[in-house]
Amino acid sequence: MRKVVMNKHNNLLQLEEHFYQLVDVDEPNTFRNLFPYEEIPKIAFNDRIVPHNMPDDIWITDTTFRDGQQSRAPYTTDQIVTIYDYLHKLGGPKGIIRQSEFFLYSKKDRDAVYKCMERGYKFPEVTSWIRASKQDFELVKDIGLRETGILVSCSDYHIFYKMKMTRREAMNHYLSVIRECLETGISPRCHLEDITRSDIYGFVIPFCVELMKLMDEYKIPIKVRACDTMGYGVNFPGAVIPRSVPGIIYGLTTHAGVPSELIEWHGHNDFYKAVTNSTTAWLYGACGVNCSLFGIGERTGNTPLEAMVFEYAQLKGTLDGMDTTVITDLVDYFEKDLDYTLPSRTPFAGKNFNVTRAGIHADGLLKNEEIYNIFDTEKFLKRPALVSISNTSGLAGIAHWINSYYRLPQERHLDKNSELVHKLKDWVDEQYDEGRVTVLTDNELVVKITECCKELGIIL
């Protein structure tokens, strides 16, 4: 079959014989050159450069209640509904957080779905994740959902070792399940598990070509979720597939003909690349990136949803109505109600993400907050830039701590010449001279400041 490939401006990119046939190998291709197992995985380059192709509309989808919940104690129904409310508010009226996926396994799972649907929000749309069986497709339909996720693992690790099938058998099996889903009138979202260890041209593209044929036949959208299950994806220009995120997205759009709006990237953070890989997927043609709140997900976690909110704003130059302050409300909710404390250095969310310690930095912060703060964190996250007090804080750091902790208006700001600041600095130095090795807590500082204020006859 001949295949004409155009870009979005209708220019002819390629005219080629369409020969992406399934390569039905006898032995699994485990890409031992890239994944030797007894050695650290390798990143190889062929220097093939893929063009940027960011869709005009990009969005975030959420897996807090699916991949997220898989890796922690289950949320109660009320907790799910509360988090769902927050996601709705965070995503804003344009629904930048477009969908959220839910298990349907137990009555409790289904109750949560009903309660979230009762909210009547357009966004995030409630979608499901099920065992791929006729009975479950009927369940999805009965509940009133439009789309469901189906597992279609695509690497030979899964096909040969887990499913004990050949590629042909796996593909036929997946296609018959997807056909069954379409027969029920439900739109399938195909989770291509372990895509970054799969044979892209020998399995993934031929399979997706078949999916696109089914989509044509049934006139029901079929989504392709590219799952970087083990976090092996890389975004470096010229890296080889299957590790290359640009290469995978290019293959899906250009060779399998999957439209951008039907492609999602699902990343994991095993090599610290979940965020950049997701941004890369956007840049090279996927409309959706699938994320979980605070990155809570299997092992090292998924792409943190809050990070992609800020990636979105940086790429698009606008938040498009997203309310970023909700991120701080969610942090408080997770800490107070779910007893989940985020690592203190977690970007945008951890206790210390915008806390400066060293005296010399605090001095800069005091002169102009922009020197050591990433953006107006008070405006966007209700989190003013802070300095914490330790042996390296210096007078400026102490002055800044008092100004921000007591929220003193600009005209009452203390500077490093203030008597109170000097008194406190003497006390802080004493603490560390006596061998203290930890940072001073807010409470300790407040007690000491109250005492000093009394002595000096000052009211803050």
Ligand X SMILES: CC(C)C(=O)C(=O)O
- Residues of the shown chain interacting with ligand X in the complex, contacts defined by CB under 6 A: 67, 151, 191, 193, 227, 229, 266, 268
Alpha-carbon span 215 to 205, nearest angstrom:
15
- Using left for φ > 0, alpha for ψ between -120 and 50, and beta otherwise, residue 269 falls in alpha
Cβ 382 vs Cβ 328: under 8 Å: yes
**Which of residues 268 and 383 has its CB atom nearest to ligand X in the complex?**
268
Closest distance between ligand X and the C-beta of residue 4, in Å?
33
Closest distance between ligand X and the C-beta of residue 228, in Å?
7
**Which of residues 88 and 266 has its CB atom nearest to ligand X in the complex?**
266
Place of tokens 């190889």: 44
**Which of residues 193 and 199 has its CB atom nearest to ligand X in the complex?**
193
Cβ 68 vs Cβ 296: under 8 Å: yes
Alpha-carbon span 458 to 460, nearest angstrom:
6
Closest distance between ligand X and the C-beta of residue 200, in Å?
16
Closest distance between ligand X and the C-beta of residue 195, in Å?
8
**Which of residues 162 and 379 has its CB atom nearest to ligand X in the complex?**
162
Closest distance between ligand X and the C-beta of residue 194, in Å?
6
DSSP states along 278-345: HHHHHHTT-SEEEEBGGG-SSTT-B-BHHHHHHHHHHHHSS-TT--THHHHHHHHHHHHTS--PPPTT
Closest distance between ligand X and the C-beta of residue 96, in Å?
22
Closest distance between ligand X and the C-beta of residue 298, in Å?
6
Closest distance between ligand X and the C-beta of residue 371, in Å?
40
**Which of residues 88 and 191 has its CB atom nearest to ligand X in the complex?**
191
**Which of residues 245 and 331 has its CB atom nearest to ligand X in the complex?**
245
Give the residue among 429, 454, 440 at the shortest CA–CA distance from 405.
Answer: 440
**Which of residues 126 and 150 has its CB atom nearest to ligand X in the complex?**
150
**Which of residues 124 and 233 has its CB atom nearest to ligand X in the complex?**
233
Cβ 424 vs Cβ 458: under 8 Å: no
Provide φ and ψ at 289, rounded to 5°.
-125, 135
User: Between the CA of residue 215 and those of 66, 167, 184, 274, what are the distances in Å?
Assistant: 26, 21, 14, 30
Give the residue among 82, 119, 57 at the shortest CA–CA distance from 326.
Answer: 82
Buried b / exposed e across 204-237, counting CB within 10 Å, b at 16+?
bbbbbbbbbebbeebebebbbbbbbbbbbbbbee
